[in-house]
Amino acid sequence: MSRRSHDRTLRVAFIAIPVLFVAIASLQMRIDAQTAESGTQQDELIFTSGAMLKKMSLGYDSLLADVYWTRTIQYYGSRIGTHHAKFDLLYPLLDVTTTLDPNLVAAYRFGAIFLSEPAPIGAGRTDLAVQLVKKGIAANPGDWALYSDLGFLYYWRLKDYPDAAAAYFEGSKNPAAPTWMRLMAARVAEKGGSIDTSRMIWQQMYDSTTNPKIRKWLRTQLDGLTALDDEIHLNELAEEYRKRVGRYPISTREMREAGLLPGIPVDPAGYPYVIGYDGKAHLAPESPVQEPKQ
């Protein structure tokens, strides 16, 4: 490169970089302003395309991706748990982030959780979560964990067991993939939506991440599945009690006194289960355990 060409490139860089970061600052202020607005108002934001930002970044695309990823987390965090919250900008932010840095795997994995969780925890858009994870797989075909995420979305959110099994099986072909991926493919194909299969999937997700926040969330899901399994078992025992006594039990204590239970069963948080008038077991109103939403 000649000295004149080199100087011209430097001048363009000195002009473009400040312009680029002014644009980013403007975007951040817009998002902040929208975050402060009432949740009932419609979110409106004009995004510069990720492809154009990538061209403008002059090699700083990874840095810009980090900026957008940070804004995505802030945007999501400001709405999570808020009644009637809208997440209209969530997918556009994730799309721009992953276009700027296609190898930012965390954005695909966490973004899929943000998108697929039902309101008020997330956007309730499993379709967009699937689209995001498939984009991640296309950019990172060697990352088996993304196939696991896709299998989870098909299995838990969409109840599409054939596609879930196919996703786990495809991911299992990766030499770096753990052996449970192939096992999961076979289990989903055979058992469909059983609680045991669901627990296996959640447990593998729990064991494969070290992020404390995600582990806490996954622990909540596992506790909810345990409670659901316990309730099914108690319902069966309540039916047996009805056959013996002629009515449903009003408490687990009655079931214990009838010899159907060795003790008073409690949920994962330590609260005794409640038996309704119809003989169905329920979590105690004060229990913090929540059965997983699908």
Residue 202 has pLDDT above 70, yes or no: yes
Quick one: which H or E segment has residue 271? none
For the stretch 193-212, what's the b/e string if a residue is b when 16 or more beta carbons lie within 10 angstroms of its beta carbon?
A: eeeebbbbbbebbbeeeeee
Residue 269 has pLDDT above 80, yes or no: yes
What pLDDT score does 94 carry? 95
> 281-282 and 274-275 as β-strands: parallel, antiparallel, unpaired?
antiparallel
16 vs 3: CA distance, rounded Å: 20
Confidence grade of residue 113 (pLDDT, cut at 50, 70, 90): very high
What pLDDT score does 183 carry? 87
Please give the model's pTM, rounded to 2 decimal places: 0.67
DSSP annotation of 273 reads P
Mean pLDDT for 17-24 is 50
86 vs 123: CA distance, rounded Å: 7
| Helices assigned H by DSSP within the chain | 3-36, 50-56, 61-77, 90-100, 105-116, 126-139, 144-152, 161-172, 180-191, 195-207, 212-245, 252-257
Residue 44 has pLDDT above 50, yes or no: no
Confidence grade of residue 48 (pLDDT, cut at 50, 70, 90): low
Contact 280, 241 (CB under 8 A): no
Confidence grade of residue 200 (pLDDT, cut at 50, 70, 90): confident
What pLDDT score does 144 carry? 96
Average predicted confidence (pLDDT) for the chain:
83
Contact 120, 85 (CB under 8 A): yes
